[in-house]
Amino acid sequence: QEARKSFVSQIKKLSDIERETSICINRCVDLGRTSLFIAAEDDSLISHSSVPLPVDAFLERLDDLSMGYCSHYNSACRSSRENFLESLEKYLYVKKGFRRSTAKNQAEPQALDLHSVLTHRSGSAVMLSLIHSEILKMLRLWGLLDFDVEIFFPHDPHGLPRAYDKQKSKESDQPHIMTVQMLLEEVTFILVNFFMFFTSYYFNIKSWLK
């Protein structure tokens, strides 16, 4: 119940404009924390445990990922924006080993539970996009990122989310931008498919997001 209340308090902050904002430039809702509240709800339904998911501990894992990139980062990466973003991509997908879940497993809750993705380094394109954007958010706060970045969200079963310079975006990129509302709806919709008694909660969320 506590996770549910925390989740609701987060998404009720969204204005109409903020709902359609890219997750890369969202400033109003802590999407990492909000996704972990959803995961906590999921975890309590599966495990029937009275011990809540340690949301703050998994937020620290996100921070650790960002700090790890700083130690991996070197001045050569600043030779161009492309090199900077390529180094981040290699850090996330090669050095840290994050990968996309198999097509068979992408619709399972574990692929959309942020704590599970951080633990097993395997998840849906939605969660990999979120992790990517959370790292970018921290790098911007620390002054390592001084230009606008967007994340290309793949709609095919195997592609990986990739960051690119927003100044070089094309009209054809528009359908591949993950908005705040899209992310929240995607995660909660999957939960409904697996936990039918969660349905009334989902439709409450839908009404709050309208």
Rounded-to-integer distance, Cα 177 and Cα 181, Å: 11
- Dump pLDDT digits (tens) for 9-30: 666 666 777 777 788 876 667 8
Identify the three-state secondary structure at position 193.
helix
DSSP string over 52-78: PP-HHHHHHHHHHHHHHHHHH--GGGG
pLDDT digits (tens, 9 = 90+) for 137-175: 898 888 888 888 999 999 898 899 999 998 888 888 888
Q: Which domain holds residue 78?
A: 2-209
Residue 56 clears pLDDT 70, i.e. is over it: yes
Domain count across the chain: 1
